[in-house]
């Protein structure tokens, strides 16, 4: 499938065009993990979720190093799909 054209806006005065809807990716905290002592993400489900967001035209994704293995999973998704250049990825640290 190809990405849908979703409403976009410029991030800042001269920034990149991003989708108006962003996707917060606290993947380790939203029920997409196995119930164990240390949350182990179910990557197949997460990949399907991220693929669906992309297909819906949501290309502004937000993550943080605090969200368990979220950034590693996103990296795996980019390696799998080759879509890194299509996604604006924001992140935080602390």
> Would you please indicate which residues are annotated as catalytic (active-site) residues?
67
DSSP state of 8: E
Closest CA to 88 of 4, 3, 16: 16
Please tell me the distance from the alpha carbon of residue 85 to that of residue 89, in angstroms, as a whole number. 10
């Amino acid at each position: 499938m190809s990405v849908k054209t979703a409403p976009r806006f410029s991030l800042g005065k001269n920034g990149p065009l991003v989708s108006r809807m962003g996707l917060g990716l606290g993947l380790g905290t939203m029920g997409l993990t196995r119930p164990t002592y240390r949350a182990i993400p179910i990557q197949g489900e997460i990949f399907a979720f991220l693929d669906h967001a992309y297909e819906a035209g949501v290309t502004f994704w937000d993550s943080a190093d605090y969200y368990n293995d979220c950034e590693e999973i996103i990296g795996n998704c980019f390696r799998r799909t080759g879509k890194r250049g299509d996604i604006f990825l924001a992140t935080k640290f602390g």
